[in-house]
Amino acid sequence: MELLSTLIPCEWQNFLLLSGRIALALVLLIVCVAYLTYVERKIIAAVHLRRGPNVVGLFGLLQPFADAIKLLHKETIFPTQAKKGLFLLAPILTFVLSFMAWAVIPIGQRLVFSDISVGILAILALSSLAVYGLLMAGWASQSTYGILGALRSAAQMISYEVSLSLVIVSVLLWTGTLNLTKIVEAQKDLWFVIPLFPMFIVFLIGIFAETNRAPFDLPEAEAELVAGYHVEYSSMPFALFFLAEYANMMLMSALTTILFLGGWLPPIDALDWVPAPFWFFLKMSLILFLFVMVRATFPRFRYDQLMTIGWKVLLPFSLGWVILTAGLLLMTGQLPKTMI
């Protein structure tokens, strides 16, 4: 170690150590995303009374690796009129943005890459930028179905982001902080899912729409748009979109856990001997299970129904709840003076 310290400056050592941690976290996230697809297929198969993946490896556990190898060996096809630069940049941008937000997600006390004071704003900013990747994909492919799917996705994400932001504002009114770690610590005595249960339901509906998941998967409506914005994609560019979708599911499940379910906090103090990440990932898994069960259970909405729910139901309700929450906290003298 002394020789290493002599040969490599301290700044470079810190840089290499941080780079190694980031690379390890990225690999673990990609593996988790891959096995999330396996778990989803198994759960839906059980609901449909089928077996699901069961050929590649014991119980089909190697199926995600087989899918990855298959996609790696496929040919990347470019439409004749496609803008090749933007066509390739779109899935890369979508993939990178879906993983960047994990840098501010705390899975335990001091178990976070960057515990910034405005963590919730960072997640909102990165999730809002994701729409550019989808728009870029639809336009660059020069496909009618691709462009329609991209426009649907943009309208859908923007519509539901307004309600999601108002839900987050209602949580911030209780905590007085934008820091995700402090939001979790504020739930030590009472998880916010209890006093803010209606907003918890609104948030769940919003994250289904935000991640383009059933029953709000209108941008990828196979019966109408033949997969929508990524209809012209194949091989690894398509795989990047696929990974980004499931990474966003995991991110939104983690955010729901932090905002409403107490993050890494145990349900009772007597269980505080259990490692904090266990509780975090258990709660996150329950939200992911809900994602899968909704897909296996509910039919797809029409697009006009989707927009009606977003603008005429969720938006007025969440706005009214924020006003009500602010009024009650102001009357009781608990309204935060500043956001820290």
Please indicate, yes or no, whether residues 102 and 43 belong to a single structural domain of this protein: no
Please indicate, yes or no, whether residues 36 and 181 belong to a single structural domain of this protein: no
7 domain residue, yes or no: no
Q: Which of 85-99, 195-209, 220-234 has the lowest mean pLDDT?
A: 220-234
Q: What is the pLDDT of residue 47?
A: 92
Q: What is the mean pLDDT of residues 97-125?
A: 88
CA dihedral 110, 114, 115, 119 (to 10 degrees): -140
8 domain residue, yes or no: no
Please indicate, yes or no, whether residues 130 and 42 belong to a single structural domain of this protein: no
Query: Which single residue is written with the structure tokens 């439409």?
Result: 79
2 domain residue, yes or no: no
Q: What is the pLDDT of residue 258?
A: 95
- Rounded to whole angstroms, the Cα distance separating 179 from 174 reads 13
Please indicate, yes or no, whether residues 46 and 186 belong to a single structural domain of this protein: no
Instruction: Return the ∠ at Cα 334 (arms to 328 and 338), rounded to 5°.
Output: 115
Q: Give residue-wise pLDDT tens across range 270-310.
A: 888 899 999 999 999 999 999 999 999 988 888 889 899 99
What does the chain come to in residues?
340
What is the pLDDT of the chain when averaged over all its residues?
87
- Rounded to whole angstroms, the Cα distance separating 139 from 154 reads 12
6 domain residue, yes or no: no
Please indicate, yes or no, whether residues 127 and 275 belong to a single structural domain of this protein: yes
Query: What 8-state DSSP symbol labels residue 230?
Result: G
pTM score, whole prediction: 0.91
Please indicate, yes or no, whether residues 107 and 179 belong to a single structural domain of this protein: yes
Q: Name the band, by pLDDT with cuts 50, 70 and 90, for residue 205.
A: very high
Please indicate, yes or no, whether residues 183 and 214 belong to a single structural domain of this protein: yes
**Boundary of a domain, candidates 73, 91, 118:** 73
67 domain residue, yes or no: yes
**Boundary of a domain, candidates 56, 73, 90:** 73
State how many domains the chain has: 2
Instruction: Return the ∠ at Cα 10 (arms to 9 and 13), rounded to 5°.
Output: 90
Q: pLDDT: is 135 or 340 the higher one?
A: 135
CA dihedral 29, 39, 237, 20 (to 10 degrees): 10
Please indicate, yes or no, whether residues 106 and 195 belong to a single structural domain of this protein: yes
338 domain residue, yes or no: no
Please indicate, yes or no, whether residues 225 and 265 belong to a single structural domain of this protein: yes
Please indicate, yes or no, whether residues 44 and 184 belong to a single structural domain of this protein: no
pLDDT at position 51 over 80: yes
Q: pLDDT: is 29 or 13 the higher one?
A: 29
Domain extent for 269: 79-331
**Boundary of a domain, candidates 58, 73, 88:** 73
Q: Name the band, by pLDDT with cuts 50, 70 and 90, for residue 3.
A: very low
Exposed, middle or buried: residue 303 (CB in 10 Å: 0-12, 13-18, 19+)? middle
336 domain residue, yes or no: no
Taking residue 142's Cβ as centre, other Cβ atoms within 10 Å add up to 15
9 domain residue, yes or no: no
Please indicate, yes or no, whether residues 44 and 139 belong to a single structural domain of this protein: no
Please indicate, yes or no, whether residues 241 and 212 belong to a single structural domain of this protein: yes
Q: What is the mean pLDDT of residues 45-59?
A: 90
